[in-house]
């Protein structure tokens, strides 16, 4: 059977050339703008959200981790706690009927989780969203992006200084 995955997949999973490790903790990237910087993870609102409030949470521990299986207990607890904080802000800001969480790592094998809100009028009740929803995602206008980021940040828990 011919190999279909990249020849360097194992080394990428091990962190060689990992773009998520290399980028540090930017306030924004090509796909989104950060609304939450936690102890263990950063959460970015997507600029081109398939559903309002779609976000990506990226692990920002002190090392490369490709899969949640490889987390230490402390990393595991910390990461998912920060995912929860981001998800609660999304729930409060957008009032979805359900949140979908996806931790694929197929393109970039560094732990990150896509959070996709679901709404009572969306096109696939009870099922995953179809691909055309992602393909047709609109790009947010700058004022829409700014307003939604402000709304999300207002719904984050207050933290001590
Ligand atoms: Zn990495």
Closest CA to 29 of 45, 40, 49, 18: 45
**pLDDT score of 159 more than 70:** no
Please give the Cα distance from 16 to 22 (Å, whole number). Answer: 10
Q: What is the mean pLDDT of residues 142-157?
A: 97
Please give the Cα distance from 106 to 103 (Å, whole number). Answer: 9
Closest CA to 42 of 55, 54, 53, 52: 55
**pLDDT score of 41 more than 50:** yes
* Ligand 1 centroid to residue 139 C-alpha, Å: 27
* Ligand 1 centroid to residue 145 C-alpha, Å: 27
* Ligand 1 centroid to residue 60 C-alpha, Å: 9
* Ligand 1 centroid to residue 110 C-alpha, Å: 5
pTM: 0.95
Mean per-residue pLDDT of the chain = 96
* Ligand 1 centroid to residue 59 C-alpha, Å: 8
Closest CA to 33 of 50, 48, 22: 48
pLDDT at 30: 87
| 93-146 pLDDT per residue, tens | 999 999 999 999 999 999 999 999 999 999 999 999 999 999 999 999 999 999
Q: Please give the order of strands across the beta sheet that includes 41-46.
A: 32-37, 41-46, 55-59, 112-118, 98-102
* Ligand 1 centroid to residue 144 C-alpha, Å: 31
* Ligand 1 centroid to residue 122 C-alpha, Å: 34
């Amino acid at each position: 059977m011919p190999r279909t995955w990249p020849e360097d997949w194992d080394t990428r999973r091990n962190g060689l050339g990992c773009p998520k490790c290399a980028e540090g903790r930017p306030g924004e990237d090509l796909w989104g703008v950060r609304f939450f910087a936690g102890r263990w993870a950063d959460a970015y609102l997507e600029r081109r959200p398939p559903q309002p409030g779609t976000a990506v949470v990226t692990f920002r521990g002190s090392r490369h981790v490709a899969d949640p299986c490889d987390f230490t207990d402390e990393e595991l607890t910390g990461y998912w706690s920060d995912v929860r904080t981001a998800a609660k802000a999304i729930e409060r800001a957008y009032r979805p009927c359900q949140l979908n969480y996806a931790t694929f790592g197929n393109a970039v094998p560094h732990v990150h989780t896509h959070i996709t809100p679901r709404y009572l009028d969306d096109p696939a009740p009870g099922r995953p969203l179809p691909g055309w929803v992602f393909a047709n995602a609109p790009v947010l206008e700058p004022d829409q992006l700014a307003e939604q980021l402000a709304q999300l940040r207002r719904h984050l828990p207050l933290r001590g200084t």
